[in-house]
A and B are shown apart, each in its own frame.
Chain A
Amino acid sequence: MILEYIKFKNFRQYFGEQTVYFSKSKEKNVTVIHGENGSGKTAFLNMFNWCFYGKVSLPNPEILINERSEGEAKEGQELEVFVEIKFRDNNKTYIVTRKLSGKKLSGRFVANSDAKLHLSYIDERGRTVEPKNPQDTIDQILPESIKSYFFFDGERIDNLSKEGSQEEIKQAIKSIMGLTVLERSVNHLDFARRQFMDELRSLGDTEIQGLIEERQSLEKEIEKCRATILQMQKNRKAAELEKLEIDKRLIELEGAKDLQKQRELLDKQKSEIQIELKKTENEIKNVCSKNGYLAFAESAIEATKNFLEQKRKKGEIPAGIKQQFVQDLLDQNLCICGTKLIEGTEHWDRVRSWRNRAGSDELEIKFTEIAANVKVLHAERSSLFKEIKSLRRKKEKLMESLSSVVEQLDEISSKLDGKESEEIKNLERKRRDLETQIQELDLEIGRYQQKILSFEENIAKLDKKIEKVQIQEEKAALANKRITACKVAKETIEQIHEALASKVKDKIQCKINEVYDNFMRKGYSAQLNNNYELRIVKDYVVRETPDRSVAMSQGERQITSLAFIGSLVDIAREQHEKGDTKYFRGGIYPIVMDSPFGALDPDSQGKNCPRNSDTCAPSNSFSYRFTVAW
């Protein structure tokens, strides 16, 4: 969607009819609108929302008519409010108008009916088309569900980089990149598979019917488990947020401030120790799975060593004479004692018999190799025990540190609980309850996840049985074929989705940093981690600490969130322009932003001024208040 102009009449602060044209240049694609406080910049943003979706987020949203036009109109005079937007999308030019008509009655504007939406477009052949359902057409071009990423107040955009916004980030990536389509396809194919399963059940024999029923009941169980997990995850998130709020409040209270600060440090330490502990446990696991056999191989190593030693002592290995030496005597027809060796004679046969008894080079090499390996294995076995011992010692130390941190945390909690202030006491008790709740939820979630795994294993076993059952009837065979087709198609789309999501995430990560590097603190970069958390991290590592994230100011959060949206829009546009895959079509989206970078200092605002804007003069580059870009 490339905006061309917006025309409006009598909308809130705007008296009469006015038009604003947007930059259409590919190189200079930013339009900046500057205005004093209260001059209507937020109303301007709301014009887009009203025109496209019929919604406004302003005080007194029901009053859209301009006060002056209402006041100057005569009693009974017809009045109108409208917003018209012209834009281009996919080689079509659209004009969308939302109009509210009415009359001045008893001194006030009274609308005749709800606002009317009209949409027309000029197609590739130059014909004008008026879709029957204009709202549907708008939703197809720029869905309402994602409008908040394109029409927004810059001062309130920092929420994307706040804690607990992973779901929103994930949803934004999916919606803007069009990955939702793949998710829907997966769900609908699964629905179709179930329908064919029902069909098969009604057509197949008793055995197959029983198997399918069993499978379906397991699937229902899995669904129930997933729904329970989802609910528990929501509850967990709510509890986490509530805990966070309590922490914020505690740090504000004089009596709790110091203890809360101490607790924050300890909490950080605790999570660092837990990560290190997990790492150590994994190291122990890796060492055991790689070299663990050595612990039980002592007798085998000793037996091999003794066997080789015996052979060596007996002189069997290495052998006294070599096969090649005997062969040379035979080839030269002369024994070492000077006797002539002629084929067919007794001497020839005797010497030849030694050839078979002599040691082969191959055997000699193997002997040397095994002897060396036995020595190595022996040494490795000793170092295995040493390594495990040292890792276990490390683990014990970490466990000790962890329990000491936990003790200190408990102590802080008891101190806060023992405070005279009722507020602190109550907050701490609530916090403790929430922590218990979170721990219990984690356990429950884990239990349900295990349940799902076991159900899935049983389903896989049933699938094998179903495949084996001979289906004679043609219809049943067809239903079975369709079930398999749905399954394969679903799995392939899931793989496509996974591949795209991971690539998109990597690309967003690079883009965010490109944007971020231009204007933020040196030595820091933005990161979109595997949990879809948008964070600022230190580029350098002071000490080996797993968490390099740093706290963000409101301004930094705004910039990080904007960098994220900007990156998404950029990638979506690139993909749309390439247009080389139907599975990931991308799109061109406008960004209409009120109060951009409002929370930044003037220096950073200057750095963030759109460089290519033809309306943004360098002298007042940081005083602009409203931006439209695409």
Chain B
Amino acid sequence: MSSNKEIKELLENVSPEIRTLINGVIDLEYSRLHLKKATGVREQVEKIVREVIK
């Protein structure tokens, strides 16, 4: 899909730190998606932000 190019451009416009943050959050969301007891995701996102933005 040509949207890949669009996504690439969007990501190029942000700093590497933000890219790492986005990737971390998306990975987390994928791993927790569809789980009935997906508790603590909010807190884990907050943790990722703390780890990436120091």
Chain A residues in contact with chain B, CB under 8 A?
A: 135-136, 139-140, 143-145, 178, 180-182, 184-185, 188-189, 191-192, 195-196, 478, 481-482, 485-486, 488-489, 492-493, 495-496, 499-500, 502-503, 507, 575, 578, 580-585
Contacts and interface: CB of A to CB of B under 8 A. Distances in A.
B14 A488 contact: yes
B49 A488 contact: no
Contacts of B53: 478, 481-482, 485
Given A488-B14, A488-B18, A575-B1, A188 B36 contact: no
A139 to B, nearest CB: 4
Given A181-B29, A482-B53, A499 B21 contact: no
Contact of B36 (A139, A181, A482): A139
Contacts of A178: 30
Contacts of B21: 485, 489
Nearest to B8: A581
Contacts of A182: 26
Contact of B29 (A135, A188, A196, A499): A188
B42 A188 contact: yes
B11 A482 contact: no
Contacts of A575: 1
B23 A503 contact: no
A322 to B, nearest CB: 55
Contact of B35 (A140, A196, A485): A140
A496 B14 CA distance: 13
Contacts of A140: 33-35
Contact of B52 (A485, A492, A499): A485
A185 B18 CA distance: 13
Given A500-B3, A580-B4, A581-B4, A191 B46 contact: yes
B36 to A, nearest CB: 7
A482 B54 CA distance: 8
A558 B14 CA distance: 45
Interface of B: 1-4, 6-7, 10-11, 13-14, 17-18, 21-23, 25-27, 29-30, 33-37, 41-42, 45-46, 49-50, 52-54
Given A188-B41, A503-B1, A139 B34 contact: yes
Contacts of B26: 181-182, 185, 493, 582-583
Nearest to B27: A582
A584 B42 contact: no
B6 A499 contact: yes
Contacts of B1: 503, 507, 575, 578, 584
B14 to A, nearest CB: 6
Nearest 4 A/B pairs, CB to CB: A143-B34, A503-B3, A188-B45, A192-B46
Contact of A192 (B3, B10, B23, B45): B45
Contact of A585 (B10, B13, B25, B30): B30
Given A485-B49, A486-B49, A489-B18, A495 B29 contact: no
A496 B49 contact: no
A148 to B, nearest CB: 14
A481 B33 CA distance: 28
A145 B36 CA distance: 10
A310 B49 CA distance: 72
